[in-house]
Structure 1
Amino acid sequence: MTAMERLRFGVDLVTFSHPAFWGVADNDAIVALAHSDLRAFWDRLLDSAQHSGVTGVELTFSPFNWQEATKAYGSVEAFAGELRKRGLTLASGFFAELEAAGDFTEASAQAAIIGKAEKYAEFLTACGSDIMVIGAPLRHTPGEWPARFFDFEQARKIADFLNRLGAILYKKGVRLALHTEAHSIFAASRDVDLLMLLTDPAYVHMCPDTAHIIVAGSDPLDVVERHHERVIIAHWKDALGAMPADTPIDKHIHDRHRPYFCDFGLGRVDWPGWIRLLRDRGYEGWAILELDAAPDPVGDIANGLTLVRQALLPIYR
């Protein structure tokens, strides 16, 4: 088996969420464009992923989510056929409901999340995927009052729900992978260690995002070295450095992240060290290349794959 077969490269569809790529003014206009002709929108999206050189895609938020994909082609089976026609595989699906759920320790909120996750899992398995990448709840801005702590007791409650959700997904043939989203409760080194300690490795796995870990002020190699056995998929992305500790954490936090992300090889990720770590720990599986909202996503992902083939895969071999 070749290195490219052991490491399969995909793209998260968030990469295609820049208004300039669609020739519109802003994110609202992207949504409007998609809804004006979903089939044409998704045809361009999948064609672009194919032309970038990847073999897999990860679905994300609307209009790049599984519901819109199903509407675009009329059925889950038809969407899966469109992927196959282009030589693509559904690598995974991103599930953002925890971040939007508020206090999901409430029983009613948990029931709603489980219901949505079960439907998503059925879609994923119908398309041949077995990984659901889940974003963790956001932290609160330091200095907010009353202060809210992500301490052992709060982490235990969240871990209990993640364990149960992971077990429910497991029964449906899907594995839960927590994503290291900067400014969430699962990105900085201490927070990752805490939730990995409290969750059951049979049911809760990990999707490290190299850039988000750096933006959170930690080292992705250090974090993954300690938890490599939990990694079932990884987001490969570069970042310029850590964000200020007092960064406001609100509905604009994802927009604030974007200036800290950069093209592959131009940031702080130690890519040779990263690929050696994956090689030495025997990692095989999806490597999801990602750029948050790239104006030229096809060219940028293609350039990232060139870096991978020329500089990194020889090390991995």
Structure 2
Amino acid sequence: MTNERLRFGVDLVTFFHPGFWGVDSHDAIIEHAKTQPRAFWDKILDSVQASGVTGVELTFSPFNWQDAIKTYGSVEAFAGELSKRGLTLCSGFFAELEAAGDFTQREAQDALISKAEKYADFLKACGSDIMVIGAPLRQTLGAQPVQFFDFDRAKVIADFLNRLGAILYARGVRLALHTEAHSIFAAARDVDLMMMLTDPPYVHMCPDTAHIIVAGSDPVQLVDRHHERVIIAHWKDALGPMPVDTPIDEHIHDSHRPYFCGFGLGRVDWPAWARLLRDRGYQGWAILELDAAADPVGDIANGLTLVRQSLLPIYR
């Protein structure tokens, strides 16, 4: 069964499991990518093709756009590798905000804009028009000195996102904020605040169902309030919310992984999700993302089968 209104893809973070590469650590994956880049990238793209999805979302190194160009020699060559496998570059994840520190400073903003412009030109050249952007992380509860995410702080960040969105729009690319757990854009109140302060034509939304649950909110209710801003979505399952005092540090993404689970095994109400997108007329990419899956091809294929058998009849 097919449905032209929904197209399915995968974020390449799905392939960040040592077992898939026959190594014993994430560092070993990075070393393999560095020493055998062509074999590394060919295996990823062949695996995406074998899983049954047709879209690819690039992410952090060694799965980023610079690595892809360096491996295949040019933007055109990478686009050709996608095309010959029947794949499309659906989007690219921009993780620089999270690592930028205090990007309220003009110099930091200019550096981020420069990186985003180069990325946008690459995406456009490969046929994509969506840049998914991770928001800055929150502060660990109780940390000192306290930095509140209040209206004033949110407005500074929103003003930058508005400006960045307008710059990307001029290059033919749309900005979509990703609901990353423990960032300023995941829990319901934070999402509502940022959606209110950002300008809809320039700042869109990429809801991630699992991250919203990990942040303690309901993805169906939250996305229903902002459905007109959604231009791409990450479909992922989670076991439940994380403790509110979880340390937010350089290991936070590793801390998330035990809370993520296979598609249909967690707390996401998938039939309600399908009805919501159907009733709101959503058309676009559905990214079946798993964080570092040991068997990514099998897991993506199984998720796609579940979607086609159980959810697409609802959606149609």
TM value normalised by structure 1: 0.99
Residues 3-57 of structure 1: CA deviation (Å, up to 9, x unaligned): 5211000000000000000011111100100011111110000000000000000
Percent of residue pairs bearing the same amino acid type: 80
Provide the C-alpha distance between the structure 2 equivalents of 1:144 and 1:34, rounded to a whole number of angstroms. Answer: 37
- Greater than 3 Å deviation, 4+ residue runs: none
1:13-92 correspondence runs (5 A): 13-92=12-91
User: 1: CA distance between counterparts of 2:198 and 2:189?
Assistant: 14
Separation in 2 of the partners of 1:285 and 1:202?
Answer: 17
Number of the residue aligned with 1:243: 242
Residue segments in structure 2 that go unaligned for 5+ positions in a row: none
8 Å Cα contact 2:11-2:56 kept in structure 1: yes
State the Cα deviation string for residues 66-123 of structure 1 (Å, max 9, x = none).
Answer: 0000011000000000000000000000000000000000000000000000000000
Q: Which residue does the alignment assign to 2:196?
A: 197
Query: How much is the aligned-residue C-alpha RMSD, in angstroms?
Result: 0.6
Q: Distance in 1 between matches of 2:250 and 2:266?
A: 26
**Equivalent in the alignment of 1:280:** 279
Distance in 2 of aligned mates of 1:245 and 1:199: 26
Partner amino acid, structure 2, of 1:212:
H
Q: Distance in 2 between matches of 1:4 and 1:126?
A: 26
Q: 2:129 — aligned with what?
A: 130
Instruction: Give the letter aligned to residue 117 of structure 1.
Output: A
Q: Distance in 2 between matches of 1:139 and 1:42?
A: 33
Given the alignment of the two structures, is residue 270 of structure 1 paired with residue 289 of structure 2, yes or no? Answer: no
Residue of structure 1 equivalent to 2:208 = 209
SS of aligned partner of 2:14: helix
8 Å CA contact retained: 1:239, 1:261: yes
Instruction: Supply the AA of the counterpart residue of 1:81.
Output: G
- How big is each residue's C-alpha offset from its partner over 1:277-302, in whole Å with a ceiling of 9 and x where there is no partner? 00000000000000000000000000
2:156 counterpart residue number: 157
Letter of the aligned partner of 2:192 in structure 1?
Answer: D
Counterpart residue number, 1:232: 231
- 1:226 corresponds to which letter in structure 2? R
In 2, the alpha carbon distance for the partners of 1:222 and 1:6 equals 22
The 8 Å contact of residues 16 and 293 in structure 2, kept in 1 or not, is answered as yes
CA distance in 2, matches of 1:289, 1:180: 15
Structure 1 residue 93 corresponds to structure 2 residue 55: no
> How do residues 131-146 of structure 1 correspond to structure 2 at under 5 angstroms?
131-146=130-145
**Residue 312 of structure 1: SS of its match in structure 2?**
helix
**SS of structure 2 residue aligned to 1:5:** coil
Contact 2:57 2:89 in 1 (8 A): yes
The answer to whether the Cα contact below 8 Å between 2:2 and 2:308 also exists between their aligned partners in 1 is: no
C-alpha contact 1:9 1:288 (8 A) present in aligned 2:
yes
Matched residue, 2:120? 121
Does residue 1:218 correspond to 2:217, yes or no?
A: yes
Contact between 1:3 and 1:316, CA under 8 Å: does it hold in 2? Answer: no
Deviations 1:127-170 (A, max 9, x none): 00000000000000010011110000000000000000000000
Q: CA contact under 8 A between 1:177 and 1:204: conserved in structure 2?
A: yes
Distance 1:42 1:160 in 2: 37
What is the CA–CA distance in structure 2 between the aligned matches of 1:153 and 1:88, rounded to whole Å?
43
Normalised by the length of structure 2, the TM-score is 0.99
CA-to-partner distance for each residue in 1:192-226, whole Å, 9 max, x for gaps?
Answer: 00000000001000000000000000000011000
Hey, what's the Cα distance between the residues in 1 that align with 2:146 and 2:36? 46
- Measure, in 1, the Cα distance between the counterparts of 2:19 and 2:116: 32
